[in-house]
Structure 1
């Protein structure tokens, strides 16, 4: 016997509104009675942190030390995606399958939002004893006891062994009737990258980080040479009263709102502004080194324990710019004159394909900052031509750190235009409005006995029963999404190095 899941034309990664279709291929070497063949589309956001010792109250969280046991580790697993499809048999009655190869087709559509926030859907799983004979679905009791938020499905995420990961699967269970017969199971993982939220309209505004500075008065060293070619042992720094130290303000700017896109270059501008007038070319300032780093902060939560992991991606690393870039070509430029550093150093540097978009889900979140380190030099080394006097002007260097916080990384996968138009984000169409508070007549109508609603299909917007919920049940965007196909254009992404590698997370405690 062997089981294989074959996906139809799988892309590098799936996204929202994509159809995931394929076949379950079952190879039998002898006749077998099969009860059910169930295919599930699942997504999990799994976190684990170590409890601090009872007497250590200063530590709010603590990493799990290597080689430690799991007795002091708490875990939290959210079923952010869970859909079930019974592919065999159609009537629910088990049949005998003959030796040979058997194929069962399945088809899912990736939704927009997670499912674990929906209490009615999770509560409905409590009463499902199974689909057919002997097959049990997920028990929703654990999900009801966790804290949830409604959000877009997060991207696949690994890289934090035994602490955090987000994975997506296609799982198949083949039920075999009989007390001593085990069910057959198989699964295959896939990468997922969500569509980006609607982008705000473009404006001329810019977010910036700036830092003014003034060099110290320049020092000159004199080293006399003897007639025999040797140097004297004394050297004294002297201030040059004829030179006024340059005063400049450096700023890093990106368009506001601060949005950068996966696998695209940074829309960064570096601006130098003159704060004091200059009188000679000797007051020239040069850019000699530049480093641009994207910093990601992954916030991990398990119950009331919190931890933040810091990850860095080097976008630009130029420890020595040759030749140095002169910030002002003309020393007669007036005060407040600006000079924009040429973007040749970073305009072709795309974000690494391991950068995931910003996201927030129930127990994990990712945010970003941009850290820029600029090294400037006042003047360059210029030795004297006098053979008896080594007159060397020592250049001054200064390193300035600049930080752009609250940077959002978008996936670069635009949602379908039809969905944006339906939600009113483009054009004159208004977005759907939340229902108003019910009138007294409607409240009386609510109190009348009615047939129980299907928990997997809550009432839609605008109905009387929908007004009973604080969070409007899903949904206009979900309903529109069911009619749309997935986006076509998508960037390169490698957020999960091996989506089918074994999980590194500690097992959950029952």
Structure 2
């Protein structure tokens, strides 16, 4: 009758509690595997995010977790036997979208010397860098960054110039094997712009009134879709920070440069 194929629908009966699983390290293959361990309990103070961690897709990474499906088919009749197959799978869980949380704002001051030989400097501008949707971001989602500038020195008639803009994603992976911990940082530049020459004139505005620059000034930015979401297990922790750097020019002849750098801890999810 020839060969035939049969489809067997199934679901993965995974526990919703990360504590039901333990990660094992194979010293021979150098890979990790995830198996159920119902008796395993962790310290309540240890935060385990969500459910099972995703595959990273990088087989050479120490943080890669290998998932596999094992199938057994029992064949009856005169010659009874069991056929077993195993295949590795790419596991990528999704979560429900987070509601926009309260924005995160970092306050900084920009100072310039009034004269080239004068060592005295006073705060001339206040700069607030805002991550408008808070610390929960989704893959492919727009990253709303706003910059609020206020004039702290009412006598200043200078024009502040935003010249440089950079956004970088900092990935931190902590892998624990026994009593040993390994920390790995990866830096990914999401946007870099130089020579913007964006003038910010606050001379006619009341003191402490802010001028807001939205991301329309440097182009909207979305979170790439090829990033592994945030996760944490008893053995591995993957976390992220969003770093924003702004370069301002000011002072006499606009020859003085000031760099502001802030970091936002963020959670990344796949919706």
Q: Is 2:215 aligned against 1:343?
A: yes
**CA distance, structure 2, for counterparts of residue 254 and residue 150 of structure 1:** 22
Q: Is 2:76 aligned against 1:217?
A: no
Q: Is 2:194 aligned against 1:313?
A: no
* Gaps in structure 1 of 5+ consecutive residues: 1-97, 120-139, 220-237, 381-392, 414-510
Tell whether the 8 Å contact from 1:113 to 1:151 is kept in structure 2 after alignment.
no
TM-score of the two chains, using structure 1 as the length reference: 0.43
1:409 alignment partner in structure 2: 268
Tell whether the 8 Å contact from 1:293 to 1:371 is kept in structure 2 after alignment.
yes
Alignment counterpart, residue 198 of structure 2, candidates 298, 309, 325: 325
Q: How far apart are 1:111 and its partner, in Å?
A: 5.3
Partner SS, residue 242 of structure 2: strand
TM-score of the two chains, using structure 2 as the length reference: 0.75
1:206 alignment partner in structure 2: 103
Equivalent pairs counted in the alignment come to 247
Q: Is 2:64 aligned against 1:165?
A: yes
Q: How far apart are 1:188 and its partner, in Å?
A: 5.0
**CA distance, structure 2, for counterparts of residue 397 and residue 247 of structure 1:** 13
Q: Structure 1 residues 163, 373: closer, same or farther in 2, change over 3 A?
A: same
2:230 alignment partner in structure 1: 358
Partner SS, residue 309 of structure 1: strand
Question: What is the 5 A alignment of 1:397-436?
Answer: 397-405=257-265, 407-411=266-270, 413=271
1:268 alignment partner in structure 2: 145
Tell whether the 8 Å contact from 1:251 to 1:270 is kept in structure 2 after alignment.
yes
2:27 alignment partner in structure 1: none
Tell whether the 8 Å contact from 1:210 to 1:402 is kept in structure 2 after alignment.
no
Question: What is the 5 A alignment of 1:101-500?
Answer: 101-110=3-12, 113-114=15-16, 117-118=19-20, 143=37, 151-159=50-58, 161=60, 163-173=62-72, 185-196=85-96, 199-200=98-99, 202=100, 205-219=102-116, 247-255=124-132, 257-280=134-157, 283-321=158-196, 324-328=197-201, 330-344=202-216, 347-378=219-250, 393=253, 395-405=255-265, 407-411=266-270, 413=271
**CA distance, structure 1, for counterparts of residue 13 and residue 203 of structure 2:** 60
Deviates more, 1:181-190 or 1:309-318: 181-190
Partner SS, residue 331 of structure 1: coil
RMSD: 3.4
Q: Structure 1 residues 359, 247: closer, same or farther in 2, change over 3 A?
A: same
Q: Structure 1 residues 350, 299: closer, same or farther in 2, change over 3 A?
A: same
Q: How far apart are 1:105 and its partner, in Å?
A: 1.8
1:506 alignment partner in structure 2: none
Q: Which has the greater radius of gyration?
A: 1
Tell whether the 8 Å contact from 1:113 to 1:150 is kept in structure 2 after alignment.
no
Q: Structure 1 residues 207, 112: closer, same or farther in 2, change over 3 A?
A: farther
Q: Structure 1 residues 372, 118: closer, same or farther in 2, change over 3 A?
A: closer
Q: How far apart are 1:287 and its partner, in Å?
A: 0.4
**CA distance, structure 2, for counterparts of residue 262 and residue 289 of structure 1:** 26
**CA distance, structure 1, for counterparts of residue 59 and residue 129 of structure 2:** 31
More strand by share: 2
Q: Structure 1 residues 111, 347: closer, same or farther in 2, change over 3 A?
A: farther
Query: What do residues 225-278 of structure 1 show as CA deviations (whole Å, max 9, x unaligned)?
Result: xxxxxxxxxxxxx66xxxx97611222112464211111121221111211113
Q: How far apart are 1:290 and its partner, in Å?
A: 0.8
Partner SS, residue 9 of structure 2: strand
Partner SS, residue 103 of structure 1: coil
Q: Structure 1 residues 365, 153: closer, same or farther in 2, change over 3 A?
A: same
* Gaps in structure 2 of 5+ consecutive residues: 22-34, 43-47
Q: How far apart are 1:160 and its partner, in Å?
A: 6.7
Partner SS, residue 327 of structure 1: strand
Q: Structure 1 residues 182, 402: closer, same or farther in 2, change over 3 A?
A: same
